[in-house]
Amino acid sequence: MKKNNFKIINLRPEKNKYRITPKGKKWIVQRVSDRKQMGQATNKRDARALFFNLLSESTSEISEITIGRSVFIKDFIVEEIIGIHAHEKIKKQKIKFNIVLGIDQESLPDENDIKSIVDYEKITNKLENLTKSKKYNFLESLVEDSFKELFEDKRINSVKIKIEKPDAIKNADSVGVEVFKTRNDYEGS
């Protein structure tokens, strides 16, 4: 029998809690509090996407759901040249970052040493430097380079990053890309 090596992520929300479990040939995403099935998928990749879609719906405004201890950056905006179209290469546009970092539970903060924590100011500086140092055609490329910068800190176990261009499409509030990776996902790619 093939052993399942899919890692279940434990969430500690105040109200709702989701989990992914294998059931026969399917993967079930359910709310733990009442065992209500929130969806199912035929493979773990689709189940994982459904799981994080549920999370992103419930964390549209960074909510009470956390993955262990986390650091978040909400609506961090820089203005830089980004895009593949000719008009995007002329005028700077807003780039909005929303990031949730899952932090190693073994690393405890020392009240007298800023190096003991994952410093969100340092992270925003890295993101700003990324956008200034390279002209990106695609948000997807910026996301991948952002993972590279963020995972340099070994205390970071997971990253959920959403990057948007709020002014890119006339009749839309925003367009963008959202990706979640664990350290294992990142180091395995």
Residue 2 has pLDDT above 70, yes or no: no
Give tens-digit pLDDT for 47-93: 666 666 666 555 444 434 434 678 899 999 999 988 899 888 899 99
Domain boundaries, given as residue ranges, for the chain:
18-58, 69-188
pLDDT at 6: 44
The residue assigned the tokens 């719906």 is 57
Give tens-digit pLDDT for 85-131: 988 889 999 999 999 998 887 777 788 888 888 999 999 999 999 99
Look up residue 30 and give its two tokens: 């359910």
Q: Show the CA angle centred on residue 117, arms to residues 111 and 123, nearest 5°.
A: 135
Topology of the domain covering 69-188: GTP Cyclohydrolase I, domain 2 (3.30.1130)
Query: Which of 27, 97, 37 lies closest to 62, judged by CA?
Result: 97
Q: What is the DSSP string of 96-128?
A: EEEEEEEE-TT---BTTBGGGS--HHHHHHHHH
